[in-house]
Chain A
Amino acid sequence: AQRVTQPEKLLSVFKGAPVELKCNYSYSGSPELFWYVQYSRQRLQLLLRHISRESIKGFTADLNKGETSFHLKKPFAQEEDSAMYYCALHSGSARQLTFGSGTQLTVLP
């Protein structure tokens, strides 16, 4: 069975500081990993997917198959990054997303 673990429920950093939101997964096949973000009172929206290997809003995430991790990083956090971040796994056979429990990021001024 697939599982996604986000060990931190809450994370606070100061503006301009680096931020890393951790995500580990367990899945026996080749997963697709995603980060979704939910800003206050808004819907879940896709932030990144590992396949595209792009940087969105300064965030990057690298899939590390050896460590089964997909941590989300940003070198200089901004106040507008404050939101709930969910790591999610899509396995081809299941055709649905398995979410982690989420990390609430607060960027302090």
Chain B
Amino acid sequence: AQTVTQSQPEMSVQEAETVTLSCTYDTSESDYYLFWYKQPPSRQMILVIRQEAYKQQNATENRFSVNFQKAAKSFSLKISDSQLGDAAMYFCAYRSPPPFYTGANSKLTFGKGITLSVRP
């Protein structure tokens, strides 16, 4: 079974600075998807960024970027120019693609999350 590990339960960053959140995963598959979700105090789960394993280029979404190291099974999230609104819990998640033409499902497996605080 796939596992996702977020070893740091909490992190803190100064406003306008850069912070990196770590995530490792374990899988025997070669093709899969990785995600970072943000959960602010409102409780809503918000997709921040997605990476396909077959793509070597690291995904980027505005101030958010990832460092995807497939061989090391590492998927870290970098937040640049941190803002107060970035304060939230962040979850790393893994998903394998469904087999073609079978209709079989695949499921999202989450890490335990990391709480990010932003200091003004």
Task: Please determine whether chains A and B interact with each other in the same assembly.
Answer: no
Which B residues lie at the A interface, using CB under 8 A? Answer: none
